[in-house]
Amino acid sequence: MSLAIASIAVLGTAALIYWYRNRDKPIKYLLRELRYTLDMQGAGVGGLIDDWVNIRRNKIVLPDAKKKIAVITGGARGIGTEVIRGLLKANMVVIMGIRKPEQATKLKDTMENSENLHAFELDLQSLKSVKQFADNVLIRYPEIHILVNNAGIMFGDFQLTEDGIETQLAVNHLGHFYLTHLLLPALKKGGAIEESARVVNVTSCAHYPGTIYYEDINMKTYYDTTAAYAQSKLAQLMTARYVNKLLSDEGYRVKCYAVHPGIVNTDLFEKSMFKKLFPWAMKMFFKTPEKGAISILHTCFDKDLENKGGMYISNCIEGISNRFSKNVEYQKRLFELSCDMVKIDSQNYGKGM
Ligand SMILES: NC(=O)c1ccc[n+]([C@@H]2O[C@H](COP(=O)([O-])OP(=O)(O)OC[C@H]3O[C@@H](n4cnc5c(N)ncnc54)[C@H](OP(=O)(O)O)[C@@H]3O)[C@@H](O)[C@H]2O)c1
């Protein structure tokens, strides 16, 4: 009883302090923030339970990919590094898109088959940089077999990129949306009847509480960083589904998937309250980056996924995704809006125009 009273007192005090510090903000936005914070904790706990229940599924036997070509964004640290290690072990030629290509040299010292690792500069906060990276890749690799849209950021203050796009949306969704458009002609060449080329969007269970703010996608009216992360991860999932459908309707041998790597102990949590409050819990309860990479590698290689394009994968099986993400009308609306934002004609998406 006394514990319950003490908990209510602590929560009540915390709520009062929170309200006092944000008393200038309209109450409807404060309530929305509170809902997102709670829902995000729920998604995180759900993700942790999913990881524990399905821990045994995180196993992979890597194939011999016979020097096929993989492109990955990010990877100088975090889960991406371990995905690259796996791709190289599987005898792939790997092209990294990273902000500081010199970091690839350090990485090579720790990797098997490192002569097959190449890096070009890519800053997903800049559409110009995305175009430059795609040009660098396409001139050397006209056929691509796997694209892993891995790089990501989480949380932080409201900021717009040089293209006027909210940063989490720019890095997590729009930069990758544009890169996929630019590389699709090479992916179409890489896809074969017996083995389609694959686009793997690394999304998150954090998409679950998300929605798309179509009327204010940059969230200029009111910025909630948690809602912005959830929106960007939902957008990656919806894009995987919609672009997969477009390509399949047009008869191309390219499949798109979305994968949640698990709750993984990486620098991604640098700006989260969780890391500040419970840094020890991350080491104890979260997956290692090596384990986090397995679902992504599974999505790159598993033959049983060949006819399951558009799937959301978590712990190497179909994961639970939110209902909004499955609505084709919503997906189409996001696709059209994203095309507008990166200034391409939606009819020409992925057609090298
Ligand atoms: N960790 C988790 O629990 C978790 C859960 C669900 C989903 N994910 C997703 O998994 C992916 C990888 O995350 P992580 O956990 O490995 O995070 P991380 O350790 O923080 O790594 C993030 C990677 O993204 C790159 N990156 C950030 N901004 C970039 C930009 N503007 N241009 C190019 N690259 C940029 C970083 O490169 P720099 O070194 O240059 O900064 C780094 O390689 C993300 O998409 C994340 O949302 C992670």
CA of 7 relative to ligand 1 center, distance in Å: 36
User: Could you tell me the pTM of the whole model?
Assistant: 0.95
Query: What pLDDT is recorded for position 4?
Result: 76
Q: Can you tell me the distance from the alpha carbon of 197 to that of 145, in angstroms, rounded to the nearest whole number?
A: 5
Compute the radius of gyration of the chain from its Cα atoms. 20
pLDDT tens digits in sequence order for the chain, 353 residues long: 677 787 778 777 877 777 777 777 888 888 888 899 899 989 999 999 999 999 899 999 999 999 999 999 999 999 999 999 999 999 999 999 999 999 999 999 999 999 999 999 999 999 999 999 999 999 999 999 999 999 999 999 999 999 999 999 999 999 999 999 999 999 999 999 899 999 999 999 999 999 999 999 999 999 999 999 999 999 999 999 999 999 999 999 999 999 999 999 999 999 888 888 888 889 999 999 999 999 999 999 999 999 999 999 999 999 999 999 999 999 999 999 999 999 999 999 999 97
Is residue 225 a part of any domain in this protein?
Answer: yes
What single letter denotes the amino acid at residue 208?
Answer: Y
Q: Does the active-site annotation cover 229?
A: yes
Q: What is the CATH number of the domain that holds 155?
A: 3.40.50.720
CA of 78 relative to ligand 1 center, distance in Å: 7
Helix/strand/coil for 81? helix
Is residue 32 a part of any domain in this protein?
Answer: no
Answer yes or no: is the C-beta of 310 below 6 A from any ligand 1 atom. no
Is residue 257 a part of any domain in this protein?
Answer: yes
Is residue 17 a part of any domain in this protein?
Answer: no
Range of the domain at 211: 51-348
Is residue 299 a part of any domain in this protein?
Answer: yes
Is residue 312 a part of any domain in this protein?
Answer: yes
For residues 113 and 88, the answer to whether their CB atoms sit within 8 Å is: yes
Q: How many domains does the chain have?
A: 1
Is residue 139 a part of any domain in this protein?
Answer: yes
CA of 334 relative to ligand 1 center, distance in Å: 23
Query: What pLDDT is recorded for position 30?
Result: 86
Closest atom of ligand 1 to 233 CA is 47
Is residue 214 a part of any domain in this protein?
Answer: yes
Query: What pLDDT is recorded for position 31?
Result: 87
For residues 97 and 80, the answer to whether their CB atoms sit within 8 Å is: no
**Residue minimizing CA distance to atom 17 of ligand 1:** 268
For residues 265 and 287, the answer to whether their CB atoms sit within 8 Å is: yes
Cβ neighbours of residue 302 closer than 8 Å, sequence gap 6 or more: 316
HEC assignment per residue over 312-326: EEECCEECCCCHHHH
Chain centroid to Cα 195, Å, comes to: 24
Query: What pLDDT is recorded for position 121?
Result: 98
Answer yes or no: is the C-beta of 104 below 6 A from any ligand 1 atom. no
Which residue among 73, 268, 278, 287 has the greatest number of ligand 1 atoms within 8 angstroms of its CB, and so is best to mutate? Answer: 268
Closest atom of ligand 1 to 263 CA is 3
Answer yes or no: is the C-beta of 76 below 6 A from any ligand 1 atom. yes
Pick from 181, 324, 321: nearest CA to 256: 181
Q: Which helix (H) or strand (E) holds 37?
A: helix 27-53
For residues 231 and 174, the answer to whether their CB atoms sit within 8 Å is: no
**Residue minimizing CA distance to atom 7 of ligand 1:** 204
Query: What pLDDT is recorded for position 1?
Result: 62
